[in-house]
Structure 1
């Protein structure tokens, strides 16, 4: 045995220290192993919670889109929105907006994109003809969903939806609400 190692075993107190060290070594290994296993379990649980939250948010978004589609279908059938140039159209949309807190604004632009009928008063003329959701609603003559943007009429971040208003003769205008989603404190789709 080397001399430096022999000196560490020569006294009774040194032997007791070594004995305690060797006796406690399995406990230390067990604690490290359990800590690692607990960490892995906590990571798996956090991933499961994140997945569940994501599925819940996605489900809420799908319901918002479906509810908005149904809302716009019903709104587009109302005679009050068939003439976006009339003052009655804006008054009607203002009343509808008061009843539905999901949306920050509701507007009915003409087929050329000029927003004449709006639930909120407009500070300046607004034309949505260049917005993709509006172009999709015109070309597809069906419900369309926009992307995240600053709404020109309400001046807030939102996602716009569009649905064609089809009076008996032809398509004249599109209903376009801007939903306000509470889950992120801002607007979304």
Structure 2
């Protein structure tokens, strides 16, 4: 089956595999030792069925995480297209980060994986990178562009270079994400969330105004 369809319109059996993977991740399972049989057993389907759709454990895990990211992107797309100001949209994205870090959802496992916070085998990282380029980068950029365009309409953003616009939004929101991860781990931080939210917003105005 086409990889894009497996991410964007997966059949029920594939959804069951994805749910099983996310459950294992959220339970803190070491995916290095996870087997295809573990995933299919949790999903309640035969091992042979999994291989009708995927060629390896790495492909199943990568697809599951990317599917979950796609679901999160759909929520972020609602934020980006909502009738809100630029500042409200940035704050709503940070609300989204708060909610999902607190719930320890799979999307943040993905981000940690990208940031190499986990010991992830190279073949899984390579598989993720290959599939991410095909399935997720376009959606991410569309969300950022839509949010930035609101800032342009309000006269807050004058930067015209698309790469710089996207880089500014990604890096500043990454700062807030790393702060929330550290706070969730009970690391002592000499910062308050409200201060950092304003810091992120003001930095965006400086970088793009």
Structure with greater strand share of residues: 1
Higher RCO, 1 vs 2 (CA within 8 Å, ≥6 residues apart): 2
Q: TM-score, normalised by structure 2?
A: 0.26
TM-score (ref. length: structure 1): 0.28
- Which protein is richer in helix relative to its size? 2
